[in-house]
Amino acid sequence: MLHELAAANTGLLEVLHRRKLADSEDFQLVLHETEGISVADTSSRIRSHRVRLSFPRFYPTAPLEAYLTQPVRHPNVDPRNGFVCLWTKHAGRETVVEALRRLQEVIVWKRMNLDDNHLMQPEAVAWHADIAERQPTLFPLPYEPLKELPGFRLEKDRFHPPGRPRKRLEPL
């Protein structure tokens, strides 16, 4: 699916390679046209991001993980290892497409989770508030959202083949 997604998003997404490990499968990607801010220098912008998506052995029961080779300034990105917290609470229905879209939204400051369990750069929260107050139109930063795969559509954070009805679960 990643190769098809990259083909539908020429110039935005590249799949570099795949590596099978004992307990996961990793994909190296490059995400273009998604502006982020350097952790080390807030005046420096990063427009292309090398990404590692790690699919654990029990995916989709266990969530996939995203890592940026060059971490960006954001509360939900670990500045040491580039881990990006994408999920508030994991549900097995999250897809690769949703993960990459969320990753873009984190990088450009369109999505942020301030819960203590997800906060990896607490100083970035105050930095963002200060900049947003002085330059309210700066955020989110510029980016080109990934396009959907032909023949599929994203509905309410879910990825569905066309013509297949959505099953709704009623609360207990």
Please provide the DSSP assignment of the chain as one string. -HHHHHHHTTTTEEEEEEEE-SSEEEEEEEE-SB-EEBSS-TT-EE--EEEEEEEETTTTTSPPEEEESS-BS-TTB-TTT-EE---SS--TT--HHHHHHHHHHHHTTS----SGGG-S-HHHHHHHHHHHHH-TTS-SPPB-PPPPPTT-EEETTEEE-TTPPPP-PPP-
- The answer to whether residue 92 scores a pLDDT higher than 90 is no
**Full-model pTM:** 0.86
Res. 138: pLDDT tops 70 = yes
Q: Which residues contact 161 (CB under 8 A, 6 or more apart)?
A: 151, 152
Residues 6 or more apart from 44 whose CB is under 8 A from it? 37, 38
* Torsion angles phi and psi, residue 139, rounded to 5: -105, 145
CATH number among 3.40.1020.10, 3.90.1150.10, 3.90.1580.10, 3.10.110.10, domain 2-157:
3.10.110.10
Residue 155 has pLDDT above 50, yes or no: no
Paired tokens of 117: 């369990």
**pLDDT tens digits, one per residue of 44-67:** 999 999 999 999 999 988 999 999
pLDDT of residue 150: 67
Structure tokens given for 163:
């013509």
Structure-model confidence comparison of residues 122 and 172, the more confident one: 122
pLDDT in the model for residue 161: 42
Rounded average pLDDT over 137-165: 68
